Amino acid sequence: MVQPKFEDYDYDLDRALTAIVGVRTTIPSDAFTAETLGTERAGHGVLIRRDGLVLTIGYLVTEAETVWLTLSGGKVVQGHVLGYDQETGFGLVQALARLDVHVLALGASSRAKLGDHVVVAGAGGRQSAVAARIVAKQEFAGYWEYLLDEALFTAPSHPNWGGTGLINPAGELIGIGSLQVQHGSGDDQAPLDINMIVPIDLLKPILDDLTTIGRAKHPPRPWLGIFAAEVGDRIVIAGMSRRGPASKSSLRIGDIVLSVAGHDVRGLPTFFRNVWSLGPAGAPIPLTINRNGRTMDVTVQSGDRRTFLRGPVLH
């Protein structure tokens, strides 16, 4: 892990890193996401407001029963989940104690350029931060019905990426760490581990909604409750949420999706966009599939993913 050096930055690096906090959560064993994400989760978050508002990645706090925040000096305070947004992946936590700490201003992720020298920061100061570069800005599709039109990708990879803060050359927050993925080098070398970062510009239109009602106001997308994989350019149903809409349909693991509502699908982004174009959550989603060489039609009555999740616990 390549740690950043104080003298390489025009802002006060050590002060900026005090805005990164540790996030630790516990989730009830019967929660919808407990089976896939676990009942104990740990990562990072970033203080973005002086009243103790912490921005993190949503999977750390989804359905959380308890939240603990560890500040840069080691102090631990309890937090309350304000909300999470399934479309972007952001989560918000409110510290339940008065904090006298530095906050990171929100920058503009749209201004980030390939090759920019950035810091991917976890809780714990410079020893938990990585001096990195932006190596890609491109579309990202996740098998759990997730799509970003343009995500940020950084290298070298932070080994504990969940909820890390991406800090630009001006000392501003321009993204939150979500995943580690592999990036092909285009030659005979092994793929490179890089971090996928959710751009901060996606937060700005929904920040007020998340802090007041816990979710974005726009109608939720139709959700199938599937885990989809690309095999070539075809979509294969690799798994299904145990209580999700697809599990109640005649769809089966191993089915190959040929089209959505008569529109051919090639690749996850096209598949997801075709599903979401059919209306809000609750819309019927007609699929044409291939099962063991036989073509057939299956309709999944989509749902609202949020209704399957426990709401934030009030403190």
Just give the CATH number of 104-204: 2.40.10.10
Residue 183 and residue 189 in contact, taking contact as beta carbons nearer than 8 Å? no
- Residues in Cβ contact with 181 at an 8 Å cutoff, skipping those fewer than 6 apart: 153, 193, 194, 195, 196
C-alpha torsion angle, residues 48, 52, 55, 61 (rounded to 10): 180
Residue pLDDT tens, the chain, 315 long: 699 999 999 999 999 999 999 999 999 999 999 999 999 999 999 999 999 999 999 999 999 999 999 999 899 999 999 999 999 999 999 999 988 889 999 999 999 999 999 999 999 999 999 999 999 999 999 999 999 999 999 999 999 999 999 999 999 999 999 999 987 655 667 788 999 999 999 999 999 999 999 999 999 999 999 999 999 889 999 999 988 999 999 999 999 999 999 999 999 999 999 999 999 999 999 999 999 999 999 999 999 999 999 876 655
Burial group, residue 114, by CB count within 10 angstroms (0-12, 13-18, 19+): exposed
Fold of 13-102: Thrombin, subunit H (2.40.10)
User: Which pTM was predicted?
Assistant: 0.95
CA–CA separation, 204 vs 256, rounded Å? 37
Domains 13-102 and 226-308 share a fold: no
> Residue 241's beta-bridge partner residues?
none
CA–CA separation, 200 vs 273, rounded Å? 22
- Domain ranges, ordered by start, for the chain: 13-102, 104-204, 226-308
Helix (H, G, I), strand (E, B) or coil at 13: helix
Q: Which CATH superfamily, name and number, covers 226-308? A: PDZ domain (2.30.42.10)
- Residues in Cβ contact with 234 at an 8 Å cutoff, skipping those fewer than 6 apart: 256, 257, 258, 266
CA distances from 24 to 184, 194, 265, 270, 304 (A): 33, 24, 39, 36, 27
Q: What is the DSSP letter of 169?
A: T
Residue 45 and residue 20 in contact, taking contact as beta carbons nearer than 8 Å? yes
- Residues in Cβ contact with 270 at an 8 Å cutoff, skipping those fewer than 6 apart: none
